[in-house]
Structure 1
Amino acid sequence: MNSTYKALLIDLSGVLYVGDEPVSGAAATLEQLRSAGLMLRFVTNTATQNHQAIINKLHSMGFIIDSQELFTAPVAAKHYIETNNLRPFCLIHDALKEDFQDLDQHQPNCVLLGDARDQLNYQSLNKAFQLCMEGSLLIGIGKNKYFKDKQGLMLDSGAFIHALEWAANTQAIIMGKPSYTFFTQAVRSTACSPNECLMIGDDVESDVIGAINAGLGGCLVRTGKYQPEDEMKIPATAHTIDTLSCLMSIL
């Protein structure tokens, strides 16, 4: 593996924890990585918790993470909407609504779609479809196909984004992984070049392939939603490890 890595981008769900249970050895590994002088960034498409709630959850599991080290797709989405003076129709989880309530949502000219769970019903999706057909932008907080929770594999918002893209003949702007822009923003915060950064995740497409397409290194962990067939999809330059705790020996 590249010995010149100076920064690590680490996914949360499936890498540090699964559901509400921390992955064995993950917290200790983070401390080893810090002691080795590596800069850490924690990147996630999680769209069911706000920024501070994610930090609180990590702390409760024994992970020592500073708020400035956390990059979330919802924060990136809000920044994009504000920068472009957009008015969103928000199809997002209840936990995020407080973070977006200060935005003008009257007469929406864009659709913001995230992991809204039961709110992703026919009525709400049809309204999103109608707005897209009228020319509104479709903005996705992430485009993951699925994730793994304590209930098992769970359908993620990517399937609904893909359906709207197909039905309305439009192309979504994706704020989270595997977006090139999202990875670029995370890398920029480290003051490192992309080839000095390694992304570690359990999603072969959003984490590993997305990172490699943005010029980073990619490493797939065999925890979380990892499936054995994923190893048939990874590029030749990517790496696989059993768990995060195996990373130090490779580095």
Structure 2
Amino acid sequence: MFLHPTPMIRAVLLDLLGVVYDGDTQIAGAATAVERLRQAGLPLRFVSNTTRSPRARIIAQLAAMGIRVGDEELLTPARAAVEWLRRHGRQPHLLVHPDLAVEFSGLEGGSGRAVVVGDAGEAFNHASLNRAFRELAAGADFVALAVNRTFKDADGLLSLDTGAFVAALEFASGRSPVVLGKPSPDFFLSALAGLNCPAADAVMIGDDAESDVAGALSAGLGTALLVRTGKYRPNDETRFDPVPTAVVDDLGAAADWILKARRIEAASGDAL
């Protein structure tokens, strides 16, 4: 069912955790759905707020599921942060998961400091948060890889995500962070760079009604589909504005929706 006028769709952005996989397990039909979108000639970009795994591990994980992803097709907040730190000449003080630290190697020569906060997992504790706070109090810049409220954990329940800890540092320091992951408009637009696709002709598929869906639509994307997998909970689609273009069962259903929209668009063009 189409809740909005039939869109033009020229590119697809996909979230990973909760859309393509849960933990190390592929969500049923995800690999087939990705291949169907590729066969339709749609360029894909995988846009993830995951800040626990380095890029090479994510690409290898997807390959093990039968999903081919080129380095240029994957955008993560860590990559955006490295580019930001280099552009601004900042040396990072990292409050991130230990596995992610390798992404920030080679940045030791910056002229200033920046606190970089990601999903540090068990490394979030009073001592680590207080060290980050003291860096901010001393004048360091404040960079958040993401501000998601929750994520679906390995036990199937929701757990606190990065946003809660970013909010604590923001409250204590009186400083607002530069947000580099979703829902930052720049993150979505960076994913489309080089695709020759206006934002209005792109679709986002995600399980987070706030960061994925409302974030994409606020950034100017023409379509955003909310899937009922991953962190989705009943009535999420009513909690944030803008609301999803459509709510579908999973990535396979999202692919059906997109391909149907393109067939309608093609038929309309033929009728002109």
Bin for the TM-score computed over the shorter chain: over 0.9
Taking a change above 3 Å as real, the CA distance of residues 105 and 123 of structure 1, as seen in their structure-2 partners, is: farther
Distance 1:91 1:165 in 2: 14
Instruction: Label 1:106 to 1:73 Cα distance change in 2 as closer, same or farther (>3 A).
Output: closer
Cα deviation, 1:119-174, whole Å, max 9, x if unaligned, reads: 11111101111221222211011111111132222211110001111111111111
**1:40 is matched with which residue?**
44
1:106 Cα deviation (Å)? 8.4
8 Å CA contact 2:227–2:254 kept in 1: the answer is no
Residue number in structure 2 paired with 1:195: 200
Contact 1:142–1:174 (CA under 8 A) maintained in structure 2: yes
1:102 aligned partner: 106
Whole-angstrom distance in 2 between the partners of 1:205 and 1:236 = 9
Q: 2:160 aligns with which of 152, 155, 159?
A: 155
SS at match of 2:216: helix
Which residue, 237, 243, 247 being the options, matches 1:231? Answer: 237
Partner amino acid, structure 2, of 1:232:
T
Structure 2 CA distance for aligned equivalents of residues 245 and 179 of structure 1: 26
Structure 1 residue 31: Cα displacement: 1.0
* 2:19 match: secondary structure: coil
Quote the RMSD (CA, aligned, Å): 1.6
Residue 236 of structure 1, CA deviation = 4.4
Counterpart residue number, 1:221:
227
Q: For residues 23 and 84 of structure 1, do their structure 2 counterparts lie closer, same or farther at Cα, with a shift above 3 Å needed? A: same
| Unaligned stretches of 5+ residues in structure 1 | none
Distance 1:108 1:93 in 2: 22
Answer yes or no: is the 8 Å Cα contact 1:198–1:219 preserved in 2.
yes
Any stretches of 5+ residues in structure 2 without a counterpart? 259-272
Q: How many residues align?
A: 251
* Cα shift at 1:64: 2.0
Q: Deviations over 1:90-118 (max 9, x none)?
A: 11111111221211178962100111112
Q: Does 1:247 align with 2:232?
A: no
Paired letter, 2:46: F
- The CA distance in 2 between the partners of 1:89 and 1:14, in whole Å, is 29
With normalisation by structure 2, the TM-score equals: 0.88
Q: Give the secondary structure class of the aligned counterpart of 2:220.
A: coil
Q: Verify: 1:121 aligned to 2:121, yes or no.
A: no
Residue 44 (structure 1) shift: 0.4
For the residue of structure 2 that corresponds to 1:87, the secondary structure is strand
The 2-side partners of 1:236 and 1:210 are apart by: 10
Match of 1:54 in 2: 58
Instruction: Spell out, residue by residue over 1:195-224, the C-alpha distance to the aligned partner (whole angstroms, 9 max, x if none).
Output: 011110001111001001100121110000
Q: TM-score, normalised by structure 1?
A: 0.95
Bigger-Rg structure (1/2): 2
Q: Percent identity?
A: 40
Distance 1:116 1:218, change over 3 A: same
Q: Residue 28 of structure 1 is aligned with which of 32, 47, 51? A: 32
